């Protein structure tokens, strides 16, 4: 068998040292965090197992509750008897009522697989010998800790039985606090597979009822869109966020009956977060996408609506752009700042009805970084695969652009379903991105493009559903159609020589996928820290989109399984200490390419974490030189 041609990081020309802090998470656009009321899971399958946590009291000022010998104690009194080494109560999840009469304590009735990933740091700065790093890292299909809430009567010092039937297969169970009168305890149940979530209520007799239930045929986007809050004054009401009508909206619930009172927001737009509720005036302020007619649907705006759903009013629609808000402490005024990718930031102070009070000229960041040139940036939109949905993107040209010339096209890709990624504003972090794209366009004399295809977020449920059990799709049919439409009126975009594509993390998976599935269009790729087989990557992200149990769809979307389809030139990048995507994901691609006799190049960076392609993520000396050398070899061939 003839061995393939590849570049392995064993020669001095390709050894890179990185002694910088690791990046611990996929990069998300800053400040697009979901609503503050979302209760984050304390018993999640991606934190260290509770058995490794030292016992502690839930609240030093509350009841003297603690976990000892795997069981619950109140002072010296043992309240539970079922705790064992394999069925321990959780010291991180002790929830006493405010009156101190009852408490809920979570019990791990069946331990999970407790999978770990071992990484080798080849060149630690403080020693000669390599160092091992072992991290808890659950993967799709793994058995998780089975968690059950247990109820205790602290006055009578006894445990009360609780029926588990309506929360018996959890991905997570999460605290949602005691009710205002301390009569019931509320908790959030997310069923394995993410097709069913419930907000549940446990009374002092041990009976559990459903407050809110949400179901989906594909998935519930629980990491971004599951939010709620209970009203302080109208104590029998709460709001709940849901995509049940195909768009992300707010519903008003009666917590006594569990019935929907009314839908608060409604229409062809997506609520991103609830900002403020005035229970006296019965009004709610929200921010979201596609609220301003005739504008880019990804622009964020603020609106106010009556709690009965009437008088929905967009407060910021007259100022075109992506808006960010900061309320004054009394919630009577807010600062509103906005920009677009081609318009620097502006700002005004508004009252809560949206009336402009005065400009914020002295409190806005409207200066551009030296390497950001707005005249080189174009926005463009066209229909995607179905001839209906509009695809939005950007085109960035070199600063010495000559329209009489032809330029190769480089696509920066990240098609993770959790968000959208085309830059919409000119905050500093986005300017840093634009600076990188501009330098790339200038140095290589190329056009850099980016677009959000179907399968990404905040365009409605049907738009995002394209990703379900189908991450290999990655919006390629939409973005390819978008590039062809752009090139049809821009003869300087040279698609005939093939398009270059690059990305990190899920974008790394997408970049290699471009060569595997669309090798007639893409001819060269850099795949950085790619999650190339979703069975090898972290559980929460991959089961969210690919489902549970693990089935054939995982193999269908695997770059490893389909590595033999490779056409074109490929550079694989990976940091040896990546805590986000298991580096084995890249190495399994290497193994499959070897078996298939395919040519490729590989760069392993000692000491590096997640993402080494972009400066500012991990400042790896010489990597950009090596990356540009790879690009230039291909450009020299196609330009010859």
Question: Which residues on adjacent β-strands are paired with residue 244?
Answer: none
Specify the long-range contacts of residues 616-625, CB closer than 8 Å, at least 24 apart.
Answer: 616/432, 616/436, 617/23, 617/27, 617/504, 618/18, 618/20, 618/22, 618/23, 618/575, 619/18, 619/20, 620/16, 620/18, 620/20, 621/16, 621/17, 621/18, 622/16, 623/16, 623/573
- Residue 163 domain-assigned (yes or no): yes
Partner residues linked to 390 by β-bridges: 383
What does the pLDDT read at residue 624? 85
Domain boundary among 333, 366, 399: 366
Which of 190, 215, 240 delimits the end of a domain? 215
Other CB atoms within 10 Å distance of the CB of residue 577? 23
Query: Looking at residue 616, what is its pLDDT?
Result: 61
Whether pLDDT at 57 is above 90: no
pTM above 0.75, yes or no: yes
CATH number of the domain residue 509 falls in: 3.40.50.1820
Statement to judge: residues 195 and 272 lie in one domain: no
Asked if the structure places residue 51 within a domain, the reply is no
Among the residue ranges 334-348, 360-374, 529-543, the one predicted with the least confidence is 360-374
Which of 153, 183, 215 delimits the end of a domain?
215
Domain count for the chain: 3
Q: What is the mean pLDDT of residues 41-59?
A: 34
Q: Which residues contact 257 (CB under 8 A, 6 or more apart)?
A: none
Within this chain, do residues 556 and 607 fall inside the same structural domain, yes or no? yes
Whether the CB-CB separation of 242 and 249 falls below 8 Å is answered with yes
Q: Torsions phi, psi of 133, nearest 5?
A: -125, 125
Structure tokens of 288?
Answer: 């979201």
Any domain includes 268:
yes
132 inside domain: yes
Above 70 in pLDDT, residue 63? Answer: yes
Gyration radius of the chain's alpha carbons:
27
Domain assignment of residue 260, given as a range: 219-366
Q: Determine the pLDDT at residue 1.
A: 34
If asked whether residues 79 and 161 sit together in one domain, one would say yes
Other Cβ atoms within 10 Å of 462 Cβ, number: 13
| Cβ–Cβ < 8 Å for 163, 203 | no
User: What are the tokens at 439?
Assistant: 């330098």
pLDDT of residue 566: 99
The burial class, CB within 10 Å (0-12 / 13-18 / 19+), for 168 is exposed
Within a domain: 35: no
The whole-number average pLDDT for the span 580-590 is: 98
Residue 50 domain-assigned (yes or no): no
pLDDT of residue 269: 99
Domain-embedded: residue 11? no
Q: Which two tokens stand for residue 115?
A: 């999978």
Compute the C-alpha angle 431/484/456, nearest 5°.
Answer: 55
pLDDT at 108 over 90: yes
Shared-domain flag, residues 416 and 545 = yes
- Tens of pLDDT, residue by residue over 341-366, are 999 999 999 999 999 999 998 777 77
Query: 361 and 415 share a domain?
Result: no
Mean pLDDT estimate for the chain: 90
Pairing type for strands 407-412 and 447-452 reads parallel
Give dist(CA 498, CA 572) in Å, integer: 19
Q: Is the pLDDT of residue 39 over 80?
A: no
Instruction: Tell me, yes or no, whether 286 and 317 share the same domain.
Output: yes
Confidence of residue 617 (pLDDT cuts 50, 70, 90): low
Tell me: the pLDDT tens digits for 438-463?
Answer: 999 999 999 999 999 999 999 999 99
Instruction: Give the pLDDT score at 640.
Output: 87
| Alpha-carbon separation of residue 22 from 31, 395, 585 (angstroms) | 21, 31, 18
- Asked if the structure places residue 545 within a domain, the reply is yes
Give me the sheet containing 146-153, strands edge to edge: 89-96, 102-110, 146-153, 158-160
Higher pLDDT, 10 or 200: 200
Q: What's the whole-number mean pLDDT along residues 223-246?
A: 94
Q: Is the pLDDT of residue 37 over 60?
A: no
Please indicate, yes or no, whether residues 394 and 341 belong to a single structural domain of this protein.
no
Q: What is the mean pLDDT of residues 281-310?
A: 98
Q: Looking at residue 114, which CATH number applies to its domain? A: 2.140.10.30
Shared-domain flag, residues 276 and 224: yes
The pLDDT value recorded for residue 87 is 98
| Residue 419 pLDDT level (bands cut at 50, 70, 90) | very high
118 and 84 in one domain?
yes
Split at pLDDT 50, 70, 90, the class of 31 is very low
Pair 595, 625 in one domain: yes
Is 294 found in the same domain as 172? no
pLDDT at 54: 35
H or E element at residue 592: helix 584-596
Residues 201 and 317 in one domain: no
Half-sphere exposure for 535 (CA within 13 Å, toward CB): 15
Residue 367 pLDDT = 81
CA distance linking residue 136 with residue 159, whole number of Å:
32
Using 50, 70 and 90 to split pLDDT, how confident is the model at 497?
A: very high
């Amino acid at each position: 068998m003839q061995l393939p041609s590849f570049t392995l990081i064993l020669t001095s020309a390709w050894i890179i040292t990185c002694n910088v802090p690791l990046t611990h998470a996929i990069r998300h656009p800053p400040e697009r965090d979901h609503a503050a009321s979302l209760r984050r899971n304390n018993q999640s399958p991606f934190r260290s197992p509770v058995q490794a946590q030292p016992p502690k009291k839930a609240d030093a000022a509350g009841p003297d509750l603690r976990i000892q010998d795997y069981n619950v104690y109140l002072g010296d009194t043992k309240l539970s008897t079922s705790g064992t080494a394999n069925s321990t109560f959780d010291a991180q999840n002790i929830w006493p009522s405010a009156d101190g009469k009852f408490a809920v304590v979570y019990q791990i009735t069946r331990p999970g697989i407790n999978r770990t990933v071992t990484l080798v740091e080849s060149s630690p700065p403080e020693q000669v010998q390599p160092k091992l790093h072992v991290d808890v890292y659950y993967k799709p299909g793994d058995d998780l800790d089975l968690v059950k809430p247990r109820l205790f009567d602290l006055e009578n010092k006894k445990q009360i039985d609780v029926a588990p039937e309506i929360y018996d297969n959890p991905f997570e169970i999460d605290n949602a606090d005691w009710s205002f009168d301390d009569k019931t305890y509320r908790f959030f149940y997310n069923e394995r597979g993410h097709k069913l979530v419930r907000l549940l209520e446990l009374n002092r007799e041990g009976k559990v009822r459903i407050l809110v239930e949400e179901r989906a045929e594909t998935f519930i986007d629980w990491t971004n869109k599951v939010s709620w809050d209970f009203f302080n004054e109208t104590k029998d009401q709460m709001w709940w966020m849901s995509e049940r009508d195909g768009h992300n909206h707010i519903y008003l619930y009666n917590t006594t009956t569990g019935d929907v009172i009314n839908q608060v927001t409604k229409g062809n737009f997506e609520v991103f977060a609830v900002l403020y509720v005035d229970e006296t005036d019965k009004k709610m302020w929200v921010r979201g996408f596609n609220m301003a007619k005739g504008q880019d649907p990804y622009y964020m705006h603020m609106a106010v609506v009556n709690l009965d759903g009437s008088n929905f009013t967009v407060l910021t629609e007259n100022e075109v752009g992506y808006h960010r808000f900061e309320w004054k402490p009394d919630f009577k005024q807010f600062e509103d700042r906005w920009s677009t990718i081609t318009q620097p930031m502006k700002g005004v102070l508004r009252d809560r009805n949206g009336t402009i009070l005065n400009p914020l000229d002295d409190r806005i960041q409207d200066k551009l970084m030296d390497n950001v040139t707005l005249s080189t940036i174009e926005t463009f939109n066209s229909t995607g695969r179905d001839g209906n949905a509009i695809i939005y993107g950007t085109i960035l040209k070199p600063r010495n652009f000559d329209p009489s010339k032809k330029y190769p096209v480089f696509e920066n890709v990240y098609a993770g379903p959790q968000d959208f990624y085309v830059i919409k504003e000119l905050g500093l972090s986005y300017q840093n991105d634009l600076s990188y794209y501009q330098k790339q366009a200038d140095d290589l004399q190329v056009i850099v493009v980016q677009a959000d295809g179907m399968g990404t977020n905040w365009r409605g449920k049907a738009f995002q559903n394209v990703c379900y059990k189908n991450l290999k799709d990655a919006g390629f049919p939409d973005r390819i159609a978008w590039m062809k439409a752009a090139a049809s009126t821009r003869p300087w975009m040279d698609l005939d020589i093939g398009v270059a594509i690059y990305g990190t993390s899920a974008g790394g998976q997408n970049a290699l996928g471009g060569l595997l599935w669309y090798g007639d269009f893409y001819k060269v790729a850099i795949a950085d820290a790619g999650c190339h087989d979703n069975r090898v990557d972290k559980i929460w992200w991959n089961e969210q989109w690919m489902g549970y149990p693990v089935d054939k769809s995982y193999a269908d979307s695997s770059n490893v399984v389909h590595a033999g389809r490779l056409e074109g030139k490929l550079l694989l990048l990976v940091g040896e200490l990546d805590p986000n995507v298991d580096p084995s994901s890249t190495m399994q691609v290497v193994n499959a390419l070897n078996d298939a006799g395919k040519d490729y190049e590989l760069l392993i960076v000692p000491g590096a974490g997640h993402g080494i392609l972009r400066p500012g993520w991990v400042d790896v000396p010489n990597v950009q030189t090596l990356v540009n050398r790879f690009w230039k070899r291909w450009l020299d061939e196609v330009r010859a």
